[in-house]
Amino acid sequence: MKTKNLRTIIAAAVFGVMAIGLVVGVSTGTLSGFGWDTIAALCPLGALGTMIATKTMIPRAVISLVIMATLVLLVGRAFCAWLCPTTLIYRIRDYFRSPKKRKALAEQKNAEIKAISQQELDSLKPAKDAKGHACGACGKCQPVKHGKLDSRHAVLGGALLSTAVFGFPVFCLVCPVGLTFATVLVLWRAFSAGDATIGIILIPAMLIVELVFLRKWCTRFCPLSALMNLVGRFSRTFVPVIDDEKCLETAKGASCSKCAEVCQFDINLRHPDFGELTTADCTRCRACVDACPTKAITMPLLAGKKAKGTVVVADPALEDLEPKLD
Ligand code: SF4
Ligand code: SF4
């Protein structure tokens, strides 16, 4: 089974269990406060917001933050790829896109990443960058300046500031994770008890606005991802690494970038300077591992221990690739 499908099944199963628990009144909570009865972990952002709003140190909130930090140190932003309903909704939306639209989007992403044709690439002199990589030498792709903080951290700052000003976690009202479960609840109440309020329009509408109009929610706006990024930059476990001896670009001087094309979180493993985010935001989704035609990417327990080996070309169409840029 493809990892992508496994991720969808796990996220859908967890969402389903929690949504059913919510509507039948079993105390499983939601992904913003999950557990059993009074033993429940809080969403780290909600936990932080609650402590700021009440100006009190709340043991349960502190424990939730410690759990979140430990998990992020171990598996980065895995929550985003494997559990978050927002990513699940994006995946379902992609699934229902017409094949034509999907193809157009894939082509657009390819074009953005490569930005130059193979013919142009072949004519480049010198064709490799200082590190011996095939792409990035022409200067046509614009490198991204990775600052310590980005737009998500600004949203995080705004969310915490508004909490301090208004005395309650304001962001929780618009959080897409909370809105997803709230949508389930209002719809259930409307259909089961005929209890239809304005929320039945307002809540799903807010969710749609966020996911449709703020299309890059996860990489540009989500304050929870900003919080995880602050811890994720210290994570050294299960970080994807490339074996240069197997990578088509370093071993054969060919242009590839498949790993960057598939990364939903805009990380460019081969050319980090050309990705919107860095591995501090890696969700351990394994899409790059699956997409690499030479199986050059692994996720070792400790980053820095690269796998050694000969070039294994998994896609026969690539077998006759000769170094094009030497
Ligand atoms: S770098 Fe690889 S594992 Fe990390 S988020 Fe991107 S595709 Fe997933
Ligand atoms: S997908 Fe594999 S071969 Fe292609 S650039 Fe990435 S690591 Fe190299």
- Every domain of the chain and the residues it spans: 3-75+149-231, 101-146+235-318
Between 4 and 299, where is the model more confident?
299
H-helix or E-strand spanning residue 74: helix 59-75
- 284 close to ligand 1 (CB < 6 Angstrom): yes
**How many beta carbons lie within 10 A of that of residue 233, not counting itself?**
14
Residue nearest to atom 8 of ligand 2 (CA): 247
Output the pTM of the full model: 0.80
Ligand nearest to the CA of 80: 1
Q: Note the pLDDT of residue 306.
A: 47
Give the integer Cα–Cα distance in Å for 241 and 299.
Answer: 6
Q: Note the pLDDT of residue 10.
A: 94
Average pLDDT on 227-242 reads: 95
pLDDT digits (tens, 9 = 90+) for 44-86: 898 899 899 999 999 989 998 999 999 999 999 999 999 998 8
Question: Is it the case that residue 325 has pLDDT exceeding 80?
Answer: no
Residue nearest to atom 6 of ligand 1 (CA): 263
- Sort residue 143 into left (φ over 0), alpha (ψ -120 to 50) or beta: beta
- 269 close to ligand 1 (CB < 6 Angstrom): yes
Burial of 294 (0-12, 13-18, 19+ CB in 10 A): buried
- 271 close to ligand 2 (CB < 6 Angstrom): no
- 89 close to ligand 1 (CB < 6 Angstrom): no
Query: Distances from the Cα of 158 to the Cαs of 10, 151, 222, in angstroms?
Result: 32, 11, 12
Give the integer Cα–Cα distance in Å for 283 and 107.
Answer: 24
Segment among 38-42, 256-260, 306-310 with least mean pLDDT: 306-310
